[in-house]
Amino acid sequence: MKLKNILCVLIVFILFSCKKNKDEQLKKDILGEWTYIKTEDQRKPKKSNNSHTPPPPTILGNHLQGYIFSENNLCEDKSGYFKRIEGDERRDRETIFLGTQTKYKIENDSLKIFDLLSKTWDNQKIQSLIGDTLTTKVADSLFAKYARTKYKIDPNENYDKIIVSSSGCYGTCPVSNISIDKSGNIFYNGQHYNTQNGQFKSKITQTEYQKIQNSFKKADIKKLENNYEGNWTDDETVTITFIKNNKIVKSISDYGRQSPTTLIWAYTPVRYLYQQIKLVPLKVEKSLLSIWRIKFSKGNEICDLTKSESFYLLTEIFEGKETNHKFENKYQIQFWNNEAKKETIYTDGRFFKLKDKTIDIGYNFLIVNNLTDQFRQKNEYD
């Protein structure tokens, strides 16, 4: 009897040690970046001719999930966590970004990730982790597959400034602009449905800027299309502009989140970065803040800028120098101010005159960005 008890204790100890060793091995093997690939449905179809098994769901609706698992149980959920504030009035509705950084643990063959919104641990049983493929059990006979993701980032691909703008939607999507340069200087303009509206400046470290830039570089910026759009209406458009040597080198428009997931993962935290930093109010010409999209007009021709390109030009004007220099009024930029009055900025591409003030940005914006040959004929909507 005594020997039997000793054997039972020994077996339990061995099983516990094996389980612990397996968990420790999983902790090592899971380190790195992972992207959700698909959900495998192993449910048995029902025998009834009048019923069918619904298709397996994705983990996060139409958007792919991605994780970075690091040492010390640190985890980055690339899709991030959000808290929605439903105010009594439409104007009081807000979206609070809780961030992407969370924690994880592996216990009893299960991957547990801490949900920043619910303050609970999301649990997925690890079915297998073989090489670059991770399979977890998310429900009865439903298995999620993730692939280890390795990016080739060009160390010589660098940008002096990144601008992200959002247009809003038929609803309460946040409307804003944010510009970040390689030194960490930030211009932020909150327009509608943000926790902070108005014009502000701020600062982040160069290391933080490099992290943001690397997130975009993972999307392979140079190979991205200039425009992505869904075939529906009333959604928001996010535009991203990359600047190098005072020149626009790439602008991307994403209507309805139809761009590659890696790009969405990159621009989403930037949209809400203002919530994570100290904002210092700026005094600028109020009428300029009412400009959403800049259009250069010349006779019957017009040149359109995206919203992020427009904000880039506005920040150049904000930082320009006031001058008494006289110039030829080649182009006009017309807009409606916050009092619903039409105003006009006169410019030759370098000097910009609004009312009695002329600003010199130091170079010809249209020539440097090769926009002089981008003019088109005006139509009934201009």
Domain coordinates of the chain in residue numbers? 2-42+58-148, 161-281, 290-377
What's the confidence (pLDDT) of residue 319?
Answer: 93
**Which amino acid belongs to residue 368?**
V
Q: Residue 85 — very low, low, confident or very high, per pLDDT cuts 50/70/90?
A: confident
Percentage of the chain with pLDDT > 90?
76
Reduced to 3 states (helix: H, G, I; strand: E, B; else coil), residue 5 is: helix
Mean pLDDT, residues 182-201 taken together: 95
Cα–Cα distance for residue pair 296/264, rounded to 1 Å: 30
pTM of the predicted protein model: 0.88
Contact between 164 and 265 (Cβ < 8 Å): no
- Please name every residue paired with 310 in a beta bridge, in sequence order, or none if there are none: none
CATH code, 161-281: 3.30.1560
Q: Which two tokens stand for residue 259?
A: 């761009």
Instruction: Show Cβ contacts of residue 376 under 8 Å, excluding neighbours closer than 6 positions.
Output: 301, 302, 303, 304
Contact between 325 and 331 (Cβ < 8 Å): no
Other CB atoms closer than 10 Å to residue 167's CB: what's the count? 19
What's the confidence (pLDDT) of residue 54?
Answer: 47
pLDDT tens digits for 127-169? 999 999 999 998 888 999 999 999 999 999 999 999 999 998 8
Of 317, 336, 310, nearest to 253 by C-alpha is 310
For 345, which DSSP code?
A: E
Instruction: Show Cβ contacts of residue 223 under 8 Å, excluding neighbours closer than 6 positions.
Output: none
Contact between 192 and 174 (Cβ < 8 Å): yes
At residue 331, φ and ψ (nearest 5 deg) are -130, 160
pLDDT tens digits for 50-75? 544 444 444 444 457 899 999 999 99
CATH value of 2-42+58-148 in 2.40.128.280, 3.30.70.20, 3.40.50.720, 1.10.357.10: 2.40.128.280
Other CB atoms closer than 10 Å to residue 231's CB: what's the count? 7
Mean pLDDT, residues 37-58 taken together: 63
For 23, which DSSP code?
A: H
> Looking at the predicted structure, is the pLDDT value of residue 273 above 60?
yes
Q: Mean pLDDT in the chain?
A: 90
Instruction: Show Cβ contacts of residue 131 under 8 Å, excluding neighbours closer than 6 positions.
Output: 148
For 248, which DSSP code?
A: E
Q: Alpha helices of 328-371 — where are they, by DSSP H?
A: 365-368
Cα–Cα distance for residue pair 132/33, rounded to 1 Å: 10
Of 100, 18, 134, nearest to 264 by C-alpha is 100
> Looking at the predicted structure, is the pLDDT value of residue 13 above 50?
no
What's the confidence (pLDDT) of residue 57?
Answer: 43
Q: Percentage helix, strand, coil, to 5, in the chain? A: 20, 40, 40
Q: Are strands 198-203 and 227-229 parallel, antiparallel or unpaired?
A: unpaired
What's the confidence (pLDDT) of residue 7?
Answer: 52
Place of tokens 């139809």: 258
pLDDT tens digits for 196-213? 999 999 999 999 999 999
More confident residue, 299 or 55: 299
